[in-house]
Amino acid sequence: MSTGFVSANKQAEILKDQGNLYFKKNRISAAIEAYTEAITLCPKVATYWTNRALCHKKRNDWERVEADCRTALEIDKSSLKARYMLGIALLEKNEFSEAIKQLEKALDLSRGGTSDMVEVIWSEVGKAKYAEWEKVALPQQQKQKALREFCENALREDYKNSLFRLGSNNKAQSCGALYENIEDEMIDINSSDFLEIDKTTFEVSKLKSSFVEKKQTLDDVFDKAAEYYKPTEVPEFLCCKITMDLYRDPVITPSGITYERAILLDHLEKVGKFDPLTRAPLQAHELITNLAIKEAVKAYLAEHAWAYKTY
Amino acid sequence: MVEVIWSEVGKAKYAEWEKVALPQQQKQKALREFCENALREDYKNSLFRLGSNNKAQSCGALYENIEDEMIDINSSDFLEIDKTTFEVSKLKSSFVEKKQTLDDVFDKAAEYYKPTEVPEFLCCKITMDLYRDPVITPSGITYERAILLDHLEKVGKFDPLTRAPLQAHELITNLAIKEAVKAYLAEHAWAYKTY
Report pLDDT digits (tens) over A209-262.
Answer: 899 999 999 999 999 888 888 888 899 999 999 999 999 999 999 999 999 998
User: Span A130-153, mean pLDDT?
Assistant: 91
Confidence of residue A206 (pLDDT cuts 50, 70, 90): confident
User: Span A263-292, mean pLDDT?
Assistant: 95
Position B194 scores a pLDDT of 82
Q: Which of A225, A237, A256 sits opposite B105 (nearest CB)?
A: A225
Q: Cβ separation of A296 and B31 shorter than 8 Å?
A: no
Position A6 scores a pLDDT of 77
User: Span A131-154, mean pLDDT?
Assistant: 91
Neighbours of B43 (CB within 10 A): 20
| A144 interaction partners in chain B (CB closer than 8 Å) | 101, 104-105
| B28 interaction partners in chain A (CB closer than 8 Å) | 217, 220-221
- What is B120-180 written as a DSSP string? GGGB-TTT-SB-SSEEE-TTS-EEEHHHHHHHHHHT-SB-TTT--B--GGG-EE-HHHHHH
Residues 71-100 of B with CB under 8 A from A: 97-98
Q: Which of B109, B136, B183 sits opposite A221 (nearest CB)?
A: B109
User: Span A9-16, mean pLDDT?
Assistant: 93
Instruction: Please say whether the beta carbons of A151 and A143 come within 8 A.
Output: no
Residues A215 and B35: their CA atoms lie apart, in Å, by 12
Q: Cβ separation of A150 and B98 shorter than 8 Å?
A: yes
Q: Cβ separation of B98 and A289 shorter than 8 Å?
A: no
Taking the domain A3-109, which CATH number applies? 1.25.40.10
Position A178 scores a pLDDT of 53
Q: A200-209, A286-295, B52-61: lowest mean pLDDT where?
A: B52-61
Residues 6+ apart with CB under 8 A from B80: none
Q: Which of B119, B134, B136 sits opposite A299 (nearest CB)?
A: B119
Position A226 scores a pLDDT of 87
Chain B: give the shortest CA distance to residue A100, in Å: 24
Chain B: give the shortest CA distance to residue A270, in Å: 25
What percent of chain A has pLDDT above 70? 86
Alpha carbon distance, N-terminus to C-terminus of chain A: 61
Residues A235 and A215: their CA atoms lie apart, in Å, by 29
Per-residue b/e over A74-95, b at no fewer than 16 CB within 10 Å? Answer: ebbeebbbbbbbbbbbbbeeeb
Is the pLDDT confidence value at A208 over 60?
yes
User: Span A48-72, mean pLDDT?
Assistant: 96
CA dihedral A123, A126, A131, A134 (to 10 degrees): -140
For residue A35, the one-letter residue type is Y
Q: Cβ separation of A299 and B105 shorter than 8 Å?
A: no
Q: Cβ separation of B138 and A252 shorter than 8 Å?
A: no
Q: Cβ separation of A288 and B136 shorter than 8 Å?
A: yes
Q: Cβ separation of A292 and B122 shorter than 8 Å?
A: yes
- Closest chain B residue to A294 measured between Cα atoms? B121
Residues A293 and A290: their CA atoms lie apart, in Å, by 6
User: Span A35-50, mean pLDDT?
Assistant: 95
Instruction: Please say whether the beta carbons of B121 and A292 come within 8 A.
Output: yes
Q: How many residues does chain B have?
A: 195
From A291, A285, A294, select the one nearest A264 (Cα to Cα). A285
Q: For chain B, which residues score pLDDT lower than 50?
A: 55-57, 59-60, 63-64, 66-67, 69-80
Instruction: Please say whether the beta carbons of A286 and A254 come within 8 A.
Output: yes
User: Span A78-98, mean pLDDT?
Assistant: 95
On whether any CB of chain A is under 8 Å from the CB of B27, the answer is: yes
From A221, A140, A62, select the one nearest B25 (Cα to Cα). A221
Residue A65 DSSP class: H
Chain A: give the shortest CA distance to residue B75, in Å: 30
Instruction: Please say whether the beta carbons of B161 and B125 come within 8 A.
Output: yes
Burial of A120 (0-12, 13-18, 19+ CB in 10 A): middle
From A282, A227, A203, A153, select the one nearest B108 (Cα to Cα). A227
Position B48 scores a pLDDT of 82
Is the pLDDT confidence value at A72 over 80?
yes
Is the pLDDT confidence value at A136 over 90?
no
Chain A: give the shortest CA distance to residue B73, in Å: 25
From A258, A262, A252, select the one nearest A288 (Cα to Cα). A252
User: Span A164-176, mean pLDDT?
Assistant: 60
Taking the domain A236-310, which CATH number applies? 3.30.40.10
Residue B2 DSSP class: H
Choice between B66 and A92, residue whose per-residue pLDDT is larger: A92
The average confidence (pLDDT) of chain A is: 87
Residues 6+ apart with CB under 8 A from B40: B66, B95
From B166, B101, B111, B178, select the one nearest B140 (Cα to Cα). B166
Residues 6+ apart with CB under 8 A from B188: B111, B112, B116, B118
The rounded radius of gyration (Å) of the Cα atoms in chain B is: 28
Q: Cβ separation of B176 and A254 shorter than 8 Å?
A: no
Residues A97 and A82: their CA atoms lie apart, in Å, by 17
Chain A: give the shortest CA distance to residue B16, in Å: 20
Q: What residues form DSSP beta bridges with A250?
A: A260
Q: Cβ separation of B183 and A158 shorter than 8 Å?
A: no
User: Span A84-100, mean pLDDT?
Assistant: 95
Q: Which of A147, A155, A290 sits opposite B174 (nearest CB)?
A: A290
The rounded radius of gyration (Å) of the Cα atoms in chain A is: 32
Q: Which of B119, B175, B183 sits opposite A256 (nearest CB)?
A: B175
Position A199 scores a pLDDT of 64
